[in-house]
Amino acid sequence: MNRRDRWILILVGVPGLTGCLLAVADFLWRVFTNGLPFHPRLSAQEHYQAVGSAYSSGFVAGFFLCFFLVVVILAVFAARSRQRAPQLVEDARWSRHTPSLPKRPA
């Protein structure tokens, strides 16, 4: 992954992550303040459909929150791992603290 790809992922991921955080926060606020749709004149079927619709919107927002979180994390840690890879190879090559393998019994 080159520098341009990482920046594209970050530029797409951060606004997506922000929007999903707001959507999840809005859903949680509706649940905690008991703002889910309820009208005494609704039939049981209509009530369950309204509540199901509210919960499905929360589920979709949570799913995309996880998706954009993974996108941003991959972009950030891909840059870090690429910077650290040569140093890790060099450390592994010249390390004096590498444990030796036990010898097989004769």
- pLDDT per residue over 34-67, tens digit each? 887 778 888 888 888 888 988 999 999 999 999 9
Q: 72 near 13, Cβ under 8 Å?
A: yes
Task: Tell me what pLDDT residue 86 has.
Answer: 62
What is the pLDDT at residue 26? 93
CA quadruple 22, 24, 25, 31: dihedral positive or negative? positive
Does pLDDT of 85 surpass 60? no
